[in-house]
């Protein structure tokens, strides 16, 4: 973690916590965190729970965003979510290219780039997710895969625009396996170097790069101690207030 960048703790609820459970979670989290300082906290609820989350987190510093979006603002796109809808609900940010979108639903790198651009045009801050599968890592292709995902995902972004990157090795998501802090740092350093090549030194030092992949209360401190890990994107550990609060209150 670099002291110049505010640490980001983001919880991706995936297809969990419908409206009633989301309301209870937010009420308790709001009471526990109080006037949070020095940490940026973002929740990514399912679309149906966004109105409830918006209601309960009003007048707090806790942000919330969408788990996905479509690159058109409106039209005959059954089942898709417009970036304009997310903005109307009060979202500040949105996930793009999460590993489940890529590998379960077949989302392509080029589509991720269109979604990133649509998010920015709608006034949302995109969080571009990238990461390799197990066979990529075993073949020594991690850097090549990640660079390609960054190239297409951020190809239409300007240096001055606000976005985040999340590195999530697919082999470590929901498997109980976690990249070691050294493995995570190695790829984060690569991402930061790529950001410098693409956008310049100022952007390289400004843009937060998060780690996602079986992050838990018992490994968050060690991960956050690494110089290029600016935060975490958490799945299962974000579904309970106790574990999520512990992540927010990491000690690095």
- The model's pLDDT over 75-111, given as tens digits with 9 standing for 90+, comes to 999 999 999 999 999 999 999 999 999 999 999 999 9
Per annotation, catalytic residue among 98, 100, 111, 132 = 98
The mean pLDDT of the chain is 95
Per-residue confidence (pLDDT) for residue 174, from 0 to 100: 72
- Window from 46-50, 80-84, 106-110, 132-136 with minimum mean pLDDT: 132-136
To the query of whether residue 188 is one of the catalytic residues in this protein, the response is no
Nearest one of 10, 15, 4, 46 to 165, comparing CA atoms: 10
Nearest one of 106, 16, 32, 21 to 67, comparing CA atoms: 16
Per annotation, catalytic residue among 63, 107, 111, 168 = 168
Question: How would residue 70 be classed by pLDDT, with cut points 50, 70 and 90?
Answer: very high
Q: Give mean pLDDT, residues 40-60.
A: 97
What letter does residue 178 receive in the DSSP assignment? -
Q: Given a cut of 90, is residue 252 above it in pLDDT?
A: no
- Window from 2-6, 167-171, 209-213, 233-237 with minimum mean pLDDT: 2-6
Domains of the chain: 95-211 (3.20.20.70)
Per-residue confidence (pLDDT) for residue 206, from 0 to 100: 96
Per-residue confidence (pLDDT) for residue 173, from 0 to 100: 77
Per-residue confidence (pLDDT) for residue 130, from 0 to 100: 97
Question: How would residue 172 be classed by pLDDT, with cut points 50, 70 and 90?
Answer: confident
How many residues appear in the chain?
252
Q: Given a cut of 90, is residue 205 above it in pLDDT?
A: yes
Whole-angstrom distance, CA of residue 19 vs CA of residue 45: 9
Q: Given a cut of 80, is residue 176 above it in pLDDT?
A: no
Per-residue confidence (pLDDT) for residue 31, from 0 to 100: 94
Q: Given a cut of 80, is residue 175 above it in pLDDT?
A: no
Burial class (CB in 10 A: 0-12, 13-18, 19+), 214: buried
Residue range 145-167, pLDDT digits in tens: 999 999 999 999 999 999 999 99
CB-based burial, 49-80: b 16+ in 10 Å, e otherwise: bbebbbebbeebebbbbbbbbbbeeeeeeeee
Kind plus residue range of the DSSP H or E element containing 30: helix 19-33
Whole-angstrom distance, CA of residue 222 vs CA of residue 241: 21
- Side-chain-facing half-sphere of 141: CA atoms under 13 Å: 10
Q: Given a cut of 90, is residue 214 above it in pLDDT?
A: no
Q: Given a cut of 90, is residue 1 above it in pLDDT?
A: no
- Measured torsion, CA atoms of residues 187, 192, 195, 197, in degrees rounded to the nearest 10: -100
Per-residue confidence (pLDDT) for residue 41, from 0 to 100: 98
To the query of whether residue 103 is one of the catalytic residues in this protein, the response is no
């Amino acid at each position: 973690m670099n002291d110049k960048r505010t640490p980001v703790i983001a919880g991706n609820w995936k297809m969990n916590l419908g409206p009633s459970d989301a309301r209870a979670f937010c009420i308790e989290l709001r009471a526990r965190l109080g006037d949070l300082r020095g940490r940026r906290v973002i929740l990514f609820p399912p679309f149906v729970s966004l109105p409830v989350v918006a209601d309960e987190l009003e007048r707090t510093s806790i942000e919330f965003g969408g788990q996905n979006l479509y690159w058109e603002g409106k039209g005959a796109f059954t089942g898709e979510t417009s970036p304009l809808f997310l903005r109307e609900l009060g979202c500040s940010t949105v996930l793009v290219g999460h590993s489940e979108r890529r590998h379960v639903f077949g989302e392509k790198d080029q589509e991720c780039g269109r979604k990133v651009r649509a998010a920015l045009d709608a006034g949302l801050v995109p969080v571009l997710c990238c990461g390799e599968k197990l066979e990529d890592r075993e073949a020594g292709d991690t850097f090549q895969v990640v660079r390609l995902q960054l190239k297409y995902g951020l190809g239409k972004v300007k240096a001055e625009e606000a976005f985040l990157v999340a590195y999530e090795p697919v082999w470590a998501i929901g498997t109980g396996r976690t990249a070691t802090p050294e493995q995570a740092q190695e790829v984060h350093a690569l991402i930061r170097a790529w950001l410098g090549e693409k956008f310049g030194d100022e952007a390289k030092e400004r843009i937060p790069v998060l780690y996602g992949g079986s992050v838990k209360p018992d490994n968050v401190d060690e991960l956050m101690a690494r110089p290029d890990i600016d935060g975490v994107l958490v799945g299962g550990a974000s579904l309970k207030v106790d574990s999520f609060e512990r992540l927010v209150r990491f000690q690095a």
